[in-house]
Amino acid sequence: MEETNFEESMKSLEKIADELEKDDLDLDTQVKKFEEGMKLANKCNELLKQAEKKITILVNGEELEIIPAFTDYSIRRKCLEKNKTYESIDKSKLLPTVFCFCDAKPFYAENVPLYDYVGSKIGNLPDNAPAVMVYLDKADNVNLLGLTDEPLQAELVECDSVADAYRRVATTAYFSQCPSKDEWIGYAGIVTGDELLLNIRSFGEKYSISGTAVQGYFGISTTVSLLQSKALAMSSSLFKEEYRTYAQAEQLMKATVQAFGVKAAKQTRYIKAINYGISEYGFDTVCDVLNSIEATEKLRIEAAKCEDKISCIQHLIIERVIEMRNAQQQ
């Protein structure tokens, strides 16, 4: 976008707006000024749209102005504008990344529709328009386009065809990996120094248990989005409710192993059912129940269908609590 044209048009538009606020203009002059203002407003809008379509990339130290293009096969970018975590992220902490583009000629030759950054179909462009370059999706920077006005570090990739371009995208995507919930627990813990999260991560590593199951042993539950918020924005502690200590979590896990075996103790459904019992009868009582479960009862739980296991475990805990209380009263 030519800044002088835009700035001059805006100044003229502001001048017309000031003139229209005056009471000394006759009707014909007002109409003419209004029509002139509308033309200038449309011109400003067009200039802004052109600016949205263009970006500057840095290739081998040379700045190039291009129109980035996308296809119906491109990864759909996240809508981050209304995301609270996004608003609080320190963008200076982003690791360097390289954007990849290829010439649009193979796409035109194969009649593949191309769209600009705002989703409008790219049609015939004037001769002096920047080159159209197709963005090759990469997991580490697909949501960074438009994040900064600084030139983007980029490489131009030669692609023989549309299939060749997306084979490169697919190959890169195959080797890409997003953090699991367990890893977000670790990130959030190490960034903030949160002892609970660090203990959960350590516990999971020690016993080879998923983060979701480990949280159950500590008596908490959280989501990936909350962990991301904590890791990215260094937010204050997420856990206002009471939670168990490392020693208590270990005690509960060993009791679960005693009752149902190592494999079962690593499954979320088991600890979920056990936590229900704890909420009803207390930690110590349920640990005593688990330590008293016999092999025949374990086999009965194992034989139950997956969708019935939680209710079976809950009923077993209730039965054993009643038995224990009756025995104490005798």
In this prediction, residues 56-66 reach a mean pLDDT of 94
Give per-residue pLDDT as tens, 180-220: 999 999 999 999 999 999 999 999 999 999 999 999 999 99
Give the separation between CA 121 and CA 137, rounded to whole angstroms: 18
Residue 261 gets the label, from left (phi > 0), alpha (psi -120 to 50) or beta, of left
Closest CA to 101 of 152, 147, 62, 148: 152
- The fraction of the chain above a pLDDT of 90, given in percent, is 52
Bridge partner list, 63: 58
* pLDDT, averaged across the chain: 86
Stretch among 27-41, 172-186, 199-213, 216-230 having the lowest mean pLDDT? 27-41
Higher pLDDT, 148 or 155: 155
In this prediction, residues 27-56 reach a mean pLDDT of 72
pLDDT at 2: 39
Residue 314 CB neighbours (<10 A): 16
Q: Which two tokens stand for residue 221?
A: 């539950």
What's the length of the chain? 330
In this prediction, residues 23-41 reach a mean pLDDT of 77
Angle formed by the axes of helices 246-260 and 211-218, to 10°?
A: 110
Give per-residue pLDDT as tens, 8-27: 767 777 888 877 777 777 77
Give per-residue pLDDT as tens, 299-318: 777 777 766 778 888 888 88
Q: Which parts of the chain fold into alpha helices (H)? A: 3-20, 27-53, 84-88, 105-109, 162-175, 181-192, 195-207, 211-218, 224-233, 246-260, 262-265, 268-281, 283-292, 295-303, 309-329
Confidence of residue 279 (pLDDT cuts 50, 70, 90): very high
Give the separation between CA 45 and CA 31, rounded to whole angstroms: 21
Give the separation between CA 250 and CA 253, rounded to whole angstroms: 5
DSSP label of 150: S
Give the separation between CA 16 and CA 41, rounded to whole angstroms: 11
Confidence of residue 129 (pLDDT cuts 50, 70, 90): confident
Confidence of residue 1 (pLDDT cuts 50, 70, 90): very low
Q: Which helix (H) or strand (E) holds 71?
A: none
Give the separation between CA 255 and CA 297, rounded to whole angstroms: 15
Which of 28-37, 131-140, 318-327 is most confident?
131-140
- The fraction of the chain above a pLDDT of 70, given in percent, is 90
